[in-house]
């Protein structure tokens, strides 16, 4: 039974609880907002009574980098599924943290979306295991820690082969993250320094190329560089999250980092199509 409170932000959430292992599987709802930088400190002040800095963020000194390899079909079917707002769609990606090469593990992820619901599964491997031949290995060779991870790896490999997935772009950005001290799972994240690099090599993490900025005011049709605010939880949306959206008059918008990179590359190369400004900003 869906419980769908709505605000003028377009926010919709579920009351269904989750017992997922958040390190390898996550069933959640999320909303994204593009905000001016001047709102960052006021928003952090607003959430201070309810949140604490994410432990990984604190260990990294306040922010950390996320590096994501996006895979897609040669015809960009995963990108166009997002463009056409397919009710059931997924992303196939490989992610690590910090500035590679490093010690952080590598996560092979499938991020599915069913209407408003986001389900993410992933398998975690050591950084030095991400090399040619990894997807041909049997899951038992990788020392995966649980049945959930072994199934996530199997499904990642299946989808990769089924759609003939190829590496398209690396996405890199800086994240500042906060977690609720009261709720089962609730997170607030600020993403900045968004950049991408077209790639054909799955294993070098963009080390041989130049990253192109995606968070300038020009890209977002705004006068200033802005940030991506994400609000995430797995249960009924906490009251303080609703009040946050209302207090700062936030307007929910679509912001797929992968599709933004594809749009930008199309603009720079003159290939494919890019959205009009209103299509870029809002779902």
pLDDT at residue 25, rounded to an integer? 57
The residue extents of the domains of the chain are 25-281
pLDDT at residue 103, rounded to an integer? 78
pLDDT at residue 159, rounded to an integer? 96
Question: Taking the CB of residue 214, how many other CB atoms lie within 10 A of it?
Answer: 20
pLDDT at residue 283, rounded to an integer? 38
**DSSP codes of every residue in the chain:** -------TT------------TTTEEEEEEEEEEEEGGGHHHHHHHHTTTEEE-HHHHHTTS-EEEEEEEEE-TT-HHHHHHHTT-SEEEEEEEEEESSSSSSS-EEEEEEEEETTEEEEEEEEE-GGG-STTGGGS-GGGGT-SSHHHHHHHHHHHHHHHHTT-EEEEEEEEEEEEEEESSSSSEEEEEEEEEEEEE-S-SSSTTTTS--EE--STTTTTSSS-EEEEEEEESSSPPHHHHHHHHHTT-------HHHHHHHHHHHHHT-S----HHHHH--
pLDDT at residue 5, rounded to an integer? 35
Would you tell me which CATH number, out of the four given (3.40.50.460, 3.30.390.10, 3.20.20.140, 3.20.100.30), belongs to the domain 25-281? 3.20.100.30
Per-residue pLDDT of the chain (283 residues; tens, 9 = 90+): 223 333 334 443 333 333 334 455 567 788 999 999 999 999 999 999 999 999 999 999 999 999 999 999 999 999 999 988 898 999 999 999 988 777 789 999 999 988 878 889 999 999 999 999 999 988 778 889 899 999 999 999 999 999 999 999 999 999 999 999 998 889 999 999 999 999 999 998 988 788 998 876 555 555 666 799 999 997 678 999 999 999 999 999 878 899 989 988 887 776 766 554 444 443 3
pTM to 2 decimals? 0.83
pLDDT at residue 58, rounded to an integer? 94
């Amino acid at each position: 039974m869906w419980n769908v409170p709505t605000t003028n932000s377009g926010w919709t959430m579920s009351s269904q609880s989750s017992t997922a292992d958040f390190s390898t599987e996550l069933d959640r709802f999320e909303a994204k907002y593009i905000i001016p930088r001047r709102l960052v400190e006021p928003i952090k002040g607003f959430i201070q009574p309810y949140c604490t800095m994410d432990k990984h963020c604190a260990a990294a000194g306040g922010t950390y980098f996320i590096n994501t390899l996006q895979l897609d079909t040669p015809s960009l079917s995963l990108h166009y599924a997002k463009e056409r707002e397919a009710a059931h769609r997924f992303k196939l990606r490989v992610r690590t943290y910090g500035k590679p090469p490093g010690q952080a593990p590598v996560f092979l992820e499938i991020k599915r979306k069913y209407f408003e619901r986001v389900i993410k599964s992933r398998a975690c491997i050591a950084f030095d295991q991400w090399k040619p031949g990894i997807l041909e290995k049997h899951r038992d060779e990788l020392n995966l820690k649980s049945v959930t991870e072994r199934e996530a790896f199997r499904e990642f490999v299946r989808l990769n082969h089924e759609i003939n997935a190829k590496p398209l772009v690396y996405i890199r950005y800086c994240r500042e993250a906060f977690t609720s001290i009261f709720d089962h799972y609730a997170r607030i994240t600020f993403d900045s320094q968004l950049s991408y690099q077209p790639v054909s090599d799955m294993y070098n993490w963009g080390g041989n190329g130049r990253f192109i900025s995606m968070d300038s005011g020009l890209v977002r049709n705004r006068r200033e560089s802005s940030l991506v605010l994400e609000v995430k939880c797995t249960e009924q949306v906490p009251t303080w999250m609703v009040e946050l959206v209302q207090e700062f008059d936030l307007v929910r918008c679509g912001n797929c980092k992968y599709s933004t990179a594809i749009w930008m590359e199309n603009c720079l190369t003159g290939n494919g199509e890019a959205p009009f400004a209103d299509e870029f900003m809002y779902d």
